[in-house]
């Protein structure tokens, strides 16, 4: 009984007046020293074995098998033990967890004899969850928990569920988890509601610094905020700190109860994590865990797409693999090819195709993830480009600066007398032209085109006058004229 009295004292001190109580406060206890040291903000990160208890969607991020054992030392002879295991299965990972809490030294008095004896109270639950990676950015997950509570004079049992989603970008992650969804905890004939809650969290990798933040709300208390940091001081040492504005009433317990700190030591496949979490006048708590990555190689998958520069058309190409995998092959008619079972690490792919220049791209292959590698190739050989710049209103040559970019880049200027330009021995491929008239009363224009090997590509370019400027009529000397302004027959 003391377990629940004490836990309720600091886990529910911030409840709004008039709200009802919930059962099984062990569900409120945060697990894992790493998460606890960072202000108990982990919903938006959740990238190790403890994701099962914070956001089951995070299990889909765990690429290798992990095993962890954690011990939590509370005040008043309360101790928690936690065992977690993650195994990659299919496109996601399966998580299994056991949590056991005990309070020893509870004095029980026999009402008939008056004798005093000491006993212990126990509570715990088992969790089973699965996190799935839907694509490179989106993960979803669900878990179920079976609950058991021994209050010495009465026992209770129940079942609840968690569900979560996690969105990943290059440096940013956003997570949301609904926890402890169920029909309540059964104590004899009584059914007491569980502490159902919604948790939203985010994490951002600022160079080497991890910044995490959570907002948590429950059916029986006001929302609270959490903030944490993680920074590698050395290759093997991780410093962590954070603050939390609930669920404990830090205003009553003292401001120190809002602070958390800890560290992690990574030694190859093993990691040691520690968290120091004070609770003001109630006392100090310590959390310690040992995590290990189990042996076993996990592979990734690479989807190659070969496209032509400028047009985006698929290109049938052969490619050479170097790095984490060796070999060569060729794409399908749609310019794609998927490589299965690629070992983690850097993979270099060189694509070659007839009438195209070879192009090399690299990708960092991660276990159990699909990577899309897009290779853009430009046509080989040389062609020529001729063009002329006219005013759209007068159909007269314009002096303009022509900037071209593509397989080659550069600029040139046309004269007002002729308005034409020629680029000889220009590498074949797609180009973009920017035409900037010397006369500022005309608007700049842009044009895209493809230079074909061994051929002359011609373009007539028109620049329109800016609005607000008078438009001169096109010349009319009585002769029929082509679209470019020149008399027909020239």
pLDDT band of residue 75 (cuts 50, 70, 90) is: confident
| Domain boundaries 300-377, CATH class | mainly beta
Domain 2-293 identical in fold to domain 300-377: no
| Average pLDDT rounded to a whole number, residues 405-410 | 88
DSSP letters spanning 65-98: -EEEEEEEE-STTEEEEEEEEEEEETTEEEEEEE
| Predicted confidence (pLDDT) per residue in 190-222, tens digit | 899 999 999 999 999 888 899 999 999 988 788
Rounded distance between C-alpha atoms, residue 35 and residue 195, angstroms:
20
Which pairs from 227-236 meet CB under 8 Å and 24+ separation?
Answer: 227/39, 227/41, 228/37, 228/38, 228/39, 228/40, 228/41, 228/42, 228/260, 229/38, 230/34, 230/38, 232/208, 235/266, 236/265, 236/266, 236/267
Sign of CA dihedral 319, 325, 326, 327: negative
Tokens 């620049």 belong to residue? 463
Whether residue 389 is predicted with pLDDT greater than 70 in this model: the reply is yes
| Average pLDDT rounded to a whole number, residues 39-68 | 93
Query: Which of 1.20.1630.10, 2.40.160.60, 3.10.50.40, 3.40.50.300 would CATH assign to domain 2-293?
Result: 2.40.160.60
The bridge status of strand 284-293 relative to strand 300-308 is: unpaired
The bridge status of strand 300-308 relative to strand 370-377 is: parallel
Which residues are CB-contacts of 468 (< 8 A; sequence separation ≥ 6)?
none
Q: Is the peptide bond before 247 cis (omega within 30 degrees of 0)?
A: yes
- What's the pLDDT at 7? 44
| Average pLDDT rounded to a whole number, residues 323-347 | 85
- What's the pLDDT at 2? 39
- What's the pLDDT at 471? 55
Percent pLDDT > 90 in the chain is 46
Rounded distance between C-alpha atoms, residue 92 and residue 252, angstroms:
44
- What's the pLDDT at 479? 47
Whether residue 159 is predicted with pLDDT greater than 50 in this model: the reply is yes
Higher pLDDT, 68 or 103: 68
Euclidean distance between the first and the last CA atom of the chain, given in angstroms as a whole number: 104
For residue 163, which of 126, 184, 125, 132 has the smallest C-alpha distance?
Answer: 132
- What's the pLDDT at 20? 46
Burial class, 200, CB count within 10 angstroms (exposed 0-12 / middle 13-18 / buried 19+): middle
Q: How far is CA 63 from the centre of its chain?
A: 14
User: Domain extents for the chain?
Assistant: 2-293, 300-377, 382-463
Mean pLDDT lowest among 92-101, 152-161, 363-372: 363-372
The two structure tokens encoding residue 172: 């940013």
Mean pLDDT lowest among 27-31, 139-143, 225-229: 27-31
The two structure tokens encoding residue 280: 């003001």
Whether residue 478 is predicted with pLDDT greater than 70 in this model: the reply is no
Whether residue 114 is predicted with pLDDT greater than 70 in this model: the reply is no
pTM over 0.85: no
Among 41-50, 132-141, 356-365, 480-489, the range with the most confident prediction by mean pLDDT is 41-50
Higher pLDDT, 237 or 474: 237
- What's the pLDDT at 429? 82
Whether residue 92 is predicted with pLDDT greater than 50 in this model: the reply is yes
**pLDDT mean across residues, the chain:** 85
Domain range 382-463, CATH architecture: Sandwich (2.60)
| Predicted confidence (pLDDT) per residue in 265-320, tens digit | 998 889 999 999 988 878 889 999 999 988 776 778 899 999 988 788 999 999 88
pLDDT band of residue 113 (cuts 50, 70, 90) is: low
DSSP annotation of 56 reads G
Helix (H/G/I), strand (E/B), else coil: 435: strand
pLDDT band of residue 469 (cuts 50, 70, 90) is: low
| Average pLDDT rounded to a whole number, residues 420-428 | 87
- Alpha carbons within 13 A on the beta-carbon side of 349: 31
- What's the pLDDT at 151? 81
Tokens 């059962």 belong to residue? 23
The two structure tokens encoding residue 304: 């190659």
| Helix and strand element counts for the chain (H, E) | 4, 29
- What's the pLDDT at 10? 42
| Average pLDDT rounded to a whole number, residues 427-433 | 87
The two structure tokens encoding residue 441: 């009363």
DSSP letters spanning 192-243: E----EEEEEEEEEETTEEEEEEEEEETTEEEEEEEEEEEESSSSEEEEEEE
């Amino acid at each position: 009984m003391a377990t629940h009295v004490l836990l309720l004292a600091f886990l529910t001190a911030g409840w709004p007046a008039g709200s009802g109580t919930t059962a099984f406060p062990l569900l409120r206890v945060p697990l894992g020293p790493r998460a606890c040291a960072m202000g108990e903000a982990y919903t938006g990160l959740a990238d190790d074995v403890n994701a099962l208890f914070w956001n089951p969607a995070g299990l889909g991020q765990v690429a290798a098998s992990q095993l962890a054992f954690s011990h939590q030392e509370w005040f008043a002879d309360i101790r928690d033990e936690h065992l977690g295991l993650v195994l990659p299965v299919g496109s996601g990972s399966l998580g299994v967890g056991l949590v056991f809490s005990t309070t020893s030294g509870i004095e029980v008095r026999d009402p008939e004899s008056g004798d005093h004896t000491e006993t212990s109270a126990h509570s715990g639950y088992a969790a089973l969850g699965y996190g799935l990676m839907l694509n490179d950015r989106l993960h979803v997950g669900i878990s179920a928990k079976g609950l058991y509570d021994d209050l010495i004079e009465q026992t209770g049992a129940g079942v609840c569920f968690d569900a979560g989603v996690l969105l990943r970008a290059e440096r940013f992650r956003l997570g949301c988890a609904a926890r402890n969804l169920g029909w309540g905890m059964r104590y004899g004939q009584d059914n007491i509601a569980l502490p159902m809650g919604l948790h939203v969290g985010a994490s951002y990798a600022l160079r080497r610094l991890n910044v995490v933040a959570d907002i948590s709300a429950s059916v029986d208390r006001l929302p609270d905020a959490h903030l944490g940091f993680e920074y590698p001081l050395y290759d093997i040492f991780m410093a962590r700190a954070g603050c939390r504005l609930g669920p404990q009433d830090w205003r009553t317990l003292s401001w120190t109860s809002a602070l958390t700190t800890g560290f992690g030591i990574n030694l190859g496949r093993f990691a040691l994590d520690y968290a120091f979490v004070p609770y003001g006048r109630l006392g100090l708590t310590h959390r310690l865990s040992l995590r290990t990555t189990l042996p076993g190689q996990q592979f990734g998958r690479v989807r190659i797409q070969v496209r032509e520069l400028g047009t985006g058309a698929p290109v049938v190409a052969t490619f050479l693999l170097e790095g984490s995998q060796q070999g060569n092959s060729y794409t399908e008619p749609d310019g794609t090819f998927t490589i299965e079972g690629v070992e983690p690490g850097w993979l270099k792919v060189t694509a070659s195709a007839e009438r195209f220049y070879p192009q090399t791209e690299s990708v960092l292959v991660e276990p159990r993830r699909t990577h899309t590698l897009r290779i853009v190739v430009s046509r080989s050989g040389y062609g020529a480009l001729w063009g002329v710049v006219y005013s759209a209103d007068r159909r007269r040559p314009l002096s303009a600066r022509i900037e071209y970019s593509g397989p080659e880049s550069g600029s040139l200027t046309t004269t007002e007398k002729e308005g034409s330009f020629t680029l000889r021995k220009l590498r074949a491929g797609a180009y973009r032209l920017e035409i900037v008239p010397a006369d500022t009363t005309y608007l700049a224009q842009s044009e895209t085109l493809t230079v074909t090997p061994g051929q002359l590509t011609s373009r007539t370019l028109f620049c329109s006058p800016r609005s607000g400027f008078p438009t001169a009529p096109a010349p009319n000397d009585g002769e029929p004229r082509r679209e470019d302004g020149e008399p027909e027959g020239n």
